[in-house]
Structure 1
Amino acid sequence: MITSIILLNVTRTRINEIAEQLAEMREVSEVYSVTGQYDLVVIVRVEHNDDLAQLVTDRLVKIDGIEKTDTMLAFKAYSRHDLESMFSI
């Protein structure tokens, strides 16, 4: 499983609407509104790199109000939780 963290800058008046729209996507496990440089943090878990590429380059670009994204791939999880079983697709 591939985990990625996507940081988003969005139109300020649409933060809640966009967060809810993202949370409905199958690949999205969590969406956080945050303080600081970004407006939303999205945790994505997919089976293949192509799934992530399709999500970012085809589906996210079609959401009106997303101004900028910064996508990071997670290499290793350091957690007490068994994330693989919690988020198995």
Structure 2
Amino acid sequence: MVTSIILMNVERSKINEVAQQLADTEGVSEVFSVSGTYDLVAICRVPTNDDLSELVTRGLLTIDAILKTETMLAFKAFSRHDLETMFTIGLDGI
């Protein structure tokens, strides 16, 4: 599994719309609106580097309001938050 973090500058009036489009995109697992230099951050998880290339060079191009991106490739995860435990009855894992 290849994990990447994509930082995006987006047209201000379209941030929420773009965030939803990204969230609906295959390979994008999470989208955050953030403060600072960038408007949105997307966490992407895809099977291969080729899939990431397709997502970044073709998939994101279909969203006109994205002005600029910076893609970072994650090498290693040092901590893991088990999202599955959040969805168990009673939220015992939190």
Question: What is aligned with 2:17?
Answer: 17
Aligned CA-pair RMSD = 1.7
Superposed displacement of residue 81, structure 1: 3.0
Higher RCO (CA < 8 A, seq sep 6+): 1
Structure 1 stretches of 4+ with a deviation exceeding 4 A read none
Q: Give structure 1 stretches of 5+ with no counterpart.
A: none
Counterpart-to-counterpart distance in 2, 1:9 and 1:41: 9
Deviation of 1:26 after TM superposition, in Å, equals 1.8
Rg: which structure is higher?
2
TM-score (norm 1): 0.89
**Could you state the TM-score of these two structures normalised by the residue count of structure 2?**
0.84
1:44 lines up with 2:73 in the alignment: no
Summarize the alignment of residues 10-89 of structure 1 with structure 2, pairs less than 5 Å apart.
10-81=10-81
Q: What are structure 2's unaligned runs of at least 5 residues? A: 86-94
Per the alignment, residue 8 of structure 1 pairs with 8
What is the alpha-carbon distance in structure 1 between the residues aligned to residue 6 and residue 82 of structure 2? Answer: 21
Q: State the one-letter code of the partner of 2:11.
A: T
Q: Name the % identity.
A: 65
